[in-house]
Amino acid sequence: YAIGRLVLWSSALAAHHPQRVQDLADPAYAKIAIANPKTAPYGLAAEQAFARAGIAPRIAPRIVQAENIGQALQFAQSRNADVCLTALSLVIEDKTDPYVIVPDSLHDPITQSLGLVRTTTQTTQALEFIDFLTGQDSAKIWKRYGYTLPKPPKTR
């Protein structure tokens, strides 16, 4: 129903502000926070971006692994990390601290998906909620928070 966007975020108080993923190869970025790539899609996307940008081996010792994107952001907000990779949706309303969107070509799509629990006793409400999340009214909300929308399936 939506596709997340990965960003490089740094505190306005930080000494350096990357403009692209490749900038992280600079040793000035001593600690780079990302979410756990084994459990967090944005962490996996960050690893893919490092690999596709050709900087993974050079920055590997400087990666600080957070449990999730929120914690990765907290590491950078508290300046315990110089920069983090997190979700655009978490920082899109931040008018103080700089961030740069990581090009989608550097990572696989961060698809937001949902499922209906087969054993639910509230099927009607669940289906209504799914209709809301995937409907036109919600599309405006997703876009406002920095998500892109998947292309509609092709019809014959």
pLDDT tens readout for residues 38-93 = 999 999 999 999 999 999 999 999 999 999 999 999 999 999 999 999 999 999 99
Of the candidates 53, 84, 86, which has an alpha carbon nearest to the alpha carbon of residue 69?
Answer: 86
Residues 6+ apart with CB under 8 A from 132: 138
CA distance 132 to 135: 5
CA distance 87 to 5: 6
pLDDT at 26 over 90: yes
Average pLDDT, the chain: 94
CA distance 105 to 124: 39
The label of the residue with tokens 């992280």 reads: 24
pLDDT at 9 over 80: yes
CA distance 96 to 98: 7
